[in-house]
Amino acid sequence: MTVDRAVAAFMAEHERNSAPSTVRKYRILMKKLTDFSAHRGFVTIDQWAANDIREFRASWGVAQGTANRHMSVFRSFFE
């Protein structure tokens, strides 16, 4: 599955089931994911590896608690 298609499906689910403020936050996070994917040349989800996720997390520059909350979103995305 392509990154763009996976992001669209993930966001569609949350637009139906989540609060507007949550959807806004998820859009920001998914933008970070698509930008990082494009930078790395990743087109499909299966191109991501555990090391790529660690490097992606390191690129955020946010507090540990915020990074943990963001990781829970990405964990559910990749599941």
Tens of pLDDT, residues 14-36: 999 999 999 999 999 999 999 99
Percent of the chain with pLDDT over 90: 97
Domains identified in the chain, total number: 1
Tens of pLDDT, residues 38-73: 999 999 999 999 999 999 999 998 999 999 999 999
Alpha-carbon separation of residue 32 from 27, 42 (angstroms): 9, 13
Range of the domain at 22: 3-78
Q: At what angle do helices 3-17 and 64-78 cross, to 10 degrees?
A: 100
* 3-state secondary structure at position 2: strand
pTM: 0.89
The Cα 23–Cα 41 span in angstroms is 26
pLDDT of residue 79: 87
